[in-house]
Chains A and B, each alone.
Chain A
Amino acid sequence: KNEVEQSPQNLTAQEGEFITINCSYSVGISALHWLQQHPGGGIVSLFMLSSGKKKHGRLIATINIQEKHSSLHITASHPRDSAVYICAVSFGNEKLTFGTGTRLTIIP
C-alpha cells in the first residue's frame, strides 16, 4: 500500500530554534512535495524534490531516495512559521498522496 508518514504530529518550539520535520514513504516515488497550510486552510507549495537538497530562505528540504525519507528543516524559527507542514508524494501518477501533517507552533 502506498503510504506517507510524518513525524512528529505536533511540535512546539521557542523562537530561534532549529526545526526538523520528517517524512517517510513506503515505496518508490516520482517526487516528494513539502507544503504549508495556514490556519485559514490554504495550501502553499514550498518544495518539490526528487533527489538531493533544496534551500529557500530559512527552509531546507532534503531527500534520501534509498532510505525513502525526507526532512524539512527551518533555521532560526519565527512565530510566523507556525503552520501545518505537510509532506505529499507522487507514486508515479498524477495524484498526490498526503501525509497527516505536522502542526508547528513557534513561541516568541
Chain B
Amino acid sequence: EPEVTQTPSHQVTQMGQEVILRCVPISNHLYFYWYRQILGQKVEFLVSFYNNEISEKSEIFDDQFSVERPDGSNFTLKIRSTKLEDSAMYFCASSPRTGLLYGYTFGSGTRLTVV
C-alpha cells in the first residue's frame, strides 16, 4: 500500500538553528498537509498546500515557518529559528484530492527535539 514517508524520524537541533523536515507524499496526491503534536497534547493543524501554494494555515504557522514542494516529489517544512516550544512530533499528510472528500494518509512523523 502506498505510504507517506517522512525523514528523519528523529531530529535534535539547537535553539535558534534552522531545521527542515522532509516528506514524500503519495505520488498521485495533490493536497499536502503538516500537523504537529506536542508531547501529551492534541494533534494540531499547521498548514495545507495545494497547487504550489498555501491554501490554509493556522495561527501557529507564523513567519518562522515555511513550506515548499521543491521538486515535485518532496514536501518540506522549514522552521527558520527553532525555539524550545517547537519540540513536537511533526506529521505530514497527503490526499489525492481534497481531504474533505477523500480522506488523508499520514506519515509516521518526525520527532523534533530543540535543546
Residues of A within 8 A of B (CB): 30-31, 33, 35, 40-45, 48, 86, 88, 90, 92-101
Kindly specify which of B21-29, B70-78, B79-87, B103-111 makes contact with the partner chain: B103-111
Q: Measuring CB to CB, which residues of chain B are less than 8 angstroms from any residue of chain A?
A: 31, 33, 35, 37, 42-45, 48, 50, 55-56, 58, 89, 91, 98-101, 103-109, 111
Q: CA A41 – CA B37 in complex, angstroms? A: 10
Q: Which A residues touch B98, using CB under 8 A?
A: 94
Give me 28 A-to-B residue pairs in the complex whose CB atoms sit less than 8 angstroms apart, sorted by A's number.
A31-B100, A31-B101, A31-B103, A33-B104, A35-B106, A41-B37, A41-B89, A41-B108, A41-B109, A41-B111, A42-B108, A42-B109, A43-B91, A45-B103, A45-B106, A48-B103, A86-B43, A88-B43, A93-B100, A94-B33, A94-B98, A94-B99, A94-B100, A96-B35, A96-B43, A98-B43, A100-B42, A101-B42
Q: What is the bound-complex CA distance between A66 and B42, given in angstroms? A: 26
CA gap between A94 and B98 in the complex, in Å: 7
**A14–B70 alpha-carbon span in the complex (Å):** 49
Complex CA distance for A86 and B42, rounded to whole angstroms = 9
Q: Which residues of A contact B45 (CB under 8 A)?
A: 95-97
* Secondary structure call for the B interface: strand
Once bound together, how far apart are the Cα atoms of A96 and B103, in whole Å?
A: 10
Known contacts A33-B104, A88-B43, A94-B31: does B109 contact A43 (CB below 8 Å)? yes
Contacts of A88 in B (CB 8 A): 43
CA distance A26 to B70 in the complex (A): 38
CA distance A43 to B91 in the complex (A): 8
Q: A45 to B48, alpha carbons, bound, how many Å?
A: 18
Q: Are A40 and B108 in contact (CB under 8 A)?
A: yes
